[in-house]
Structure 1
Amino acid sequence: MMGLGLEGYDPDSQRDLAAAFHIRVVEDEQHIPSHQHRKGQLILALQGAITCEVENAMLMVPPHYAVWIPGQLPHSNKATPSAQLCFLFIEPGAVTLPDRCCTLKMSPLVRELILTLAARTREQMALPATARLIDVLFDELPQQPQEQLQLPVSSHPKIRLMSDTMAEEPAAWQTLTQWAQHFAMSERNLARLVVKETGLSFRRWRHQLQLILALQRLIRGQSVQQVAHALGYDSTTAFINMFKKGLGQTPARYIAGLSMTSR
């Protein structure tokens, strides 16, 4: 950890308008079970990625994106091996940000402001210069665009089973027909349930899950061909087309863009 460090810092008891911490995940993978804070929390991925789960959604945060978690919202986090993250805790009402959990694309300026704040010591936090830095950060944060790197889920047992199983075995569980047979219900009724619980058709919902799974694997260093095979695609071209439709770029260009931003 860098900057203040999380040791001895309780975000719910402190009244700092903003406090940031640089975190390195030293374990193979780190999972933080469901919890909540009085303060809002922004989790910026610097290297690796983090997946955040809230009641009705799973959000994927690749490098140089961030997940915004409003105060008092229960959430759990899972970081990829050797991930580097930056936590930013924000006092309620200090800045206008969305009232729901979402993924934000961070500009280089906002990223550097957060990293600069994370490097400040406790003594430096009390200086007027730090207050001015926070003012600029709060001016810029509301301007960061939202990205559609989230999967709507629900507490419905069928939807939860589908999302959990398809995340573990994406190549084995791909079709609405498979799931309808598994649940002993008609495809029409299952399709209606998916729309009711997630707001998306089964096809769009499955593709959104596949995008999240693909990013997780690509960030871990798997090749495009390996990811296409793991997700059950008959051809690498079909997978590339799905990825480009969802994120606007081919997998290779998307990952190359993340690497260039980190330099």
Structure 2
Amino acid sequence: MPTVESARRDVVTVGVKMVTEGLELEDHSHHKAELLLGLSGVFRCEVEGGIWIVPPQSALWVPGGMVHRIAVFGNIDSYAAFFQPGADAKLPTRCCTLAVTPLLRELIVRSAQFPADQEVAAIESGVAALLLHEVSTAPLGNFHLPMPTDPRLRSIFQDMMTNPADRGTLETWAKRAGFSVRSLERVIAAETGMSFGRWRQQLSITLSVQWLAGGASVKQVAGDLGYENVSSFITMFRKALGVSPARFMAERTARH
């Protein structure tokens, strides 16, 4: 019986359901590109150069051959679609999160109903073609946290991720790591394409989405991120994503 890697078809999709308080898949790669759709629970994917968070009703794209590590949190209901190399030249070439339209979601769910060990029928070819088009034109998501390669900067960022409630200033972190403020600013911009403040905000968004999807309250998340009050956290979240944290999660829960 062919596996998802050996099946000779443009798209092979499998469904995955599990109940877990936390599970991590060590570094691995696939010959085929993978699209991971989460309907419930949350995924975190780590690759060289960044961390991607996949909240409910979002999807993660991992190009073929890219080494990655995935952690899962909560009650997982998901689908993994694997794409044959060369199936469509317009498919993403980098790891990214994708906004999932209702059509894209239903195409992924439908494709999981096709057995990988049988000849490709006409309806399967049609679904696969439309799925390839939807993936290649899907808007990119914004749950990416770029990670640097510079050892000293990476150490700073790892400390901030470990203790996000530490609201130390740029000057504070520069002194701790032996940087001048200007040098630290230059390294952060060169390595991440962001300012220090923008990276820390993206860290807050990334962690808050992960924690909220895992069942934490807005008040708890605000406190764990070091905000003095809940309203400040909500204001930051709304400015970044366009909706309040409660609305953000309600919309994703309602679609499941």
TM range (shorter): over 0.9
Q: Counterpart of 1:34 in structure 2: which amino acid?
A: D
Residues 117-170 of structure 1, C-alpha deviations (whole Å, 9 max, x = no match): 113234566322212211221222222111111011122222322332222211
Q: Per-residue deviation at 1:173? A: 5.1
Give the secondary-structure state (helix, strand or coil) at the position aligned to 1:194. Answer: helix
Residue in structure 2 matched with residue 258 of structure 1 by the alignment: 252
Residue in structure 1 matched with residue 43 of structure 2 by the alignment: 50
Query: CA separation in 2, counterparts of 1:257 and 1:208?
Result: 21
Give the secondary-structure state (helix, strand or coil) at the position aligned to 1:49. Answer: strand
Is residue 20 from structure 1 mapped to residue 8 from structure 2 by the alignment?
A: no
Structure 2 unaligned blocks of 5 or more: none
Residue in structure 2 matched with residue 71 of structure 1 by the alignment: 64
Cα RMSD for the two superposed structures: 1.8
Query: CA separation in 2, counterparts of 1:163 and 1:33?
Result: 21
Q: Per-residue deviation at 1:10? A: 5.1
Residues 17-42 of structure 1, C-alpha deviations (whole Å, 9 max, x = no match): 11011112343212112222221111
- Answer yes or no: is the 8 Å Cα contact 1:30–1:80 preserved in 2: yes
Residue in structure 2 matched with residue 209 of structure 1 by the alignment: 203
Query: CA separation in 1, counterparts of 2:157 and 2:255?
Result: 31
TM-score, normalised to structure 2, is 0.93
Q: Which runs of 4+ in 1 moved over 4 A?
A: none
- Answer yes or no: is the 8 Å Cα contact 1:24–1:83 preserved in 2: yes
The correspondence for 1:145, drawn from 139, 146, 163, is: 139
Query: CA separation in 2, counterparts of 1:139 and 1:177?
Result: 47
Q: 1:159 to 1:125 in 2, by over 3 A?
A: farther
Q: 1:91 to 1:8 in 2, by over 3 A?
A: closer
TM-score, normalised to structure 1, is 0.91
Q: Per-residue deviation at 1:216? A: 0.7
- Structure 1 residues 168-183: aligned runs within 5 Å: 168-172=162-166, 174-183=168-177
Q: How many residues align?
A: 255
- Answer yes or no: is the 8 Å Cα contact 1:166–1:174 preserved in 2: no
Q: Per-residue deviation at 1:99? A: 1.2
Structure 1 unaligned blocks of 5 or more: 1-6
Larger RCO, structure (CA 8 Å, separation 6 or more) = 2
Give the secondary-structure state (helix, strand or coil) at the position aligned to 2:75. Answer: coil
- Answer yes or no: is the 8 Å Cα contact 1:41–1:87 preserved in 2: yes
Residues 45-96 of structure 1, C-alpha deviations (whole Å, 9 max, x = no match): 1101111111111111111111111112221111113222211100111122
Residue in structure 2 matched with residue 4 of structure 1 by the alignment: none
Q: Per-residue deviation at 1:213? A: 0.2
- Answer yes or no: is the 8 Å Cα contact 2:2–2:116 preserved in 1: no
Query: CA separation in 2, counterparts of 1:66 and 1:233?
Result: 29
Give the secondary-structure state (helix, strand or coil) at the position aligned to 1:9. Answer: coil
Query: CA separation in 2, counterparts of 1:151 and 1:200?
Result: 10
Give the secondary-structure state (helix, strand or coil) at the position aligned to 1:28. Answer: strand
